[in-house]
């Protein structure tokens, strides 16, 4: 406990140093830079801005609230990482969930590691560090890989060395970006797995991808069943053994899907996870069709 108190006091002391205009640190060679860069500093939350390079775009509200509750009870256990932009101005490199959760409960300061990096280095640090997280969905990982390739000019081989993953693993993630956005959303929301997505990538047209995706979700097909279905589609025939519909498909979905399709006059995609949560998607092909569906929903 004494060590923790001493470290917090040191962080507050370094924070005061950063607020001194006569000691503004812009590079690792500046006076007192060694006291700040790489150390934990207690920063004002208002002095920190979010990272425009943040590869993560989806934050679960419930999980964020749980983290906020934990921080209220225990404090921020793992400091965020920031880079110095200007006098008493910093930008997040990693730790946006901790940053957001701290703001939720009204904290005024947050412990942070300070780095000095240019835009490209900041992007690379944010992407590589984010990829190492355990709670990213496959599409977020794929998008991060693609950004590293496009914006840092890395080949798949160099990317493999940088993130410590096999080139084949990286290639499998990147192929998911060839899927229709509706299917990518299904993967992100947990209605289908990366394995389902890897099978669907072998379907050439987005229309056929969606058609098979609807069957996967509606019939709760396994990855193996999906692979057989895709193979049959590509061969222009049907599997020798017809794929059996999953017996645990929610009854309220199967009994209502056709009724909804008849009401809206279009295909209805219903996605449901094992815990009973789900969503309904109504595809449309034109503004006119969109307005027609909107009128049916709003009843005017």
pLDDT of residue 6: 42
| CA distance readout (Å), 115 to 36, 84, 85, 109, 272 | 9, 6, 10, 18, 43
Q: What is the pLDDT of residues 193-239, one digit of tens each?
A: 999 999 999 998 888 899 899 888 888 888 998 998 998 888 875 54
Burial of 292 (C-beta count, 10 Å sphere; 0-12/13-18/19+): middle
pLDDT of residue 8: 46
How confident is residue 251, by pLDDT bands cut at 50, 70 and 90?
A: low
pLDDT of residue 262: 79
**Topology of domain 2-118, CATH:** 3.90.1530
Q: What is the pLDDT of residues 4-53, one digit of tens each?
A: 444 444 445 566 656 656 666 555 555 555 656 667 888 899 999 987 76
Using alpha carbons, select from 266, 281, 263, 175 the residue that is nearest to residue 218. 281
| Mean pLDDT on 240-253 | 50
How confident is residue 250, by pLDDT bands cut at 50, 70 and 90?
A: low
Which letter does DSSP use for residue 189 in this model? T
Catalytic residues: 96
Task: With H, G, I as helix, E, B as strand and everything else as coil, classify residue 269.
Answer: strand
Cα–Cα distance for residue pair 229/207, rounded to 1 Å = 15
User: How many CA atoms, within 13 angstroms, populate the side-chain half-sphere of residue 237?
Assistant: 4
Judged against a pLDDT cut of 70, whether residue 55 lies above it is answered with no
Residue found under tokens 């998911």:
176
Which helix (H) or strand (E) is 35 found in, with range? Answer: helix 33-36
Distance of CA 55 to the CA centre of its chain: 7
Domain ranges of the chain: 2-118, 180-298
Summary mean pLDDT of the chain:
77
For helices 223-235 and 206-219, the axis angle rounded to 10 degrees is 140
Judged against a pLDDT cut of 70, whether residue 188 lies above it is answered with yes
Least confident stretch, 47-56, 99-108, 147-156, 271-280? 271-280
The most confident of the ranges 125-134, 200-209, 279-288 is 200-209
Using alpha carbons, select from 191, 198, 200, 194 the residue that is nearest to residue 270. 191
Task: With H, G, I as helix, E, B as strand and everything else as coil, classify residue 131.
Answer: helix
Residue 48's DSSP bridge partners are 90
Q: What is the pLDDT of residues 91-105, one digit of tens each?
A: 888 888 899 999 999
Sign of CA dihedral 218, 221, 223, 224: negative
């Amino acid at each position: 406990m004494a060590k923790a108190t001493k470290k917090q006091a040191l962080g507050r002391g370094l924070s005061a140093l950063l607020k001194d205009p006569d000691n503004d640190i812009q590079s690792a060679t500046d006076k007192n830079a060694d006291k700040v860069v790489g150390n934990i500093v207690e920063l004002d939350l208002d002095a920190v801005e979010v990272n425009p390079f943040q590869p993560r775009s989806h934050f679960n509200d419930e999980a964020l609230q749980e983290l906020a509750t934990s921080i209220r009870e225990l404090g921020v256990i793992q400091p965020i990482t920031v880079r110095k932009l200007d006098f008493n101005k910093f930008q997040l490199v990693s730790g946006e969930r901790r940053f957001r959760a701290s703001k939720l409960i009204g904290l005024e300061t947050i412990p942070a590691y300070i780095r000095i990096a240019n835009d490209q280095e900041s992007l690379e640090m944010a992407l590589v560090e984010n990829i190492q997280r355990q709670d990213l969905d496959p599409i977020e990982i794929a998008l991060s890989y693609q950004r590293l390739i496009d914006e840092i000019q890395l080949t798949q081989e160099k990317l493999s060395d940088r993130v410590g993953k096999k080139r084949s693993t990286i290639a499998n993630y990147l192929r998911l970006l060839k899927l229709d956005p509706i299917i990518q959303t299904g993967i992100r929301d947990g209605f289908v797995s990366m394995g389902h997505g890897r099978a669907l990538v072998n379907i050439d047209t987005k229309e056929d991808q969606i058609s098979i995706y609807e069957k996967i979700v509606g019939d709760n097909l396994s990855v193996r069943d999906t692979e057989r279905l895709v193979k049959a589609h590509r061969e222009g025939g049907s599997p020798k053994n017809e794929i059996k519909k999953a017996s645990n498909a929610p009854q309220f979905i199967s009994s209502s899907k056709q009724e909804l399709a008849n009401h809206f006059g279009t295909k209805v995609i219903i996605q449901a996870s094992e815990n009973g949560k789900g969503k309904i998607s109504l595809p449309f092909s034109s503004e006119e069709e969109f307005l027609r569906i909107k009128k049916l929903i709003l009843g005017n």
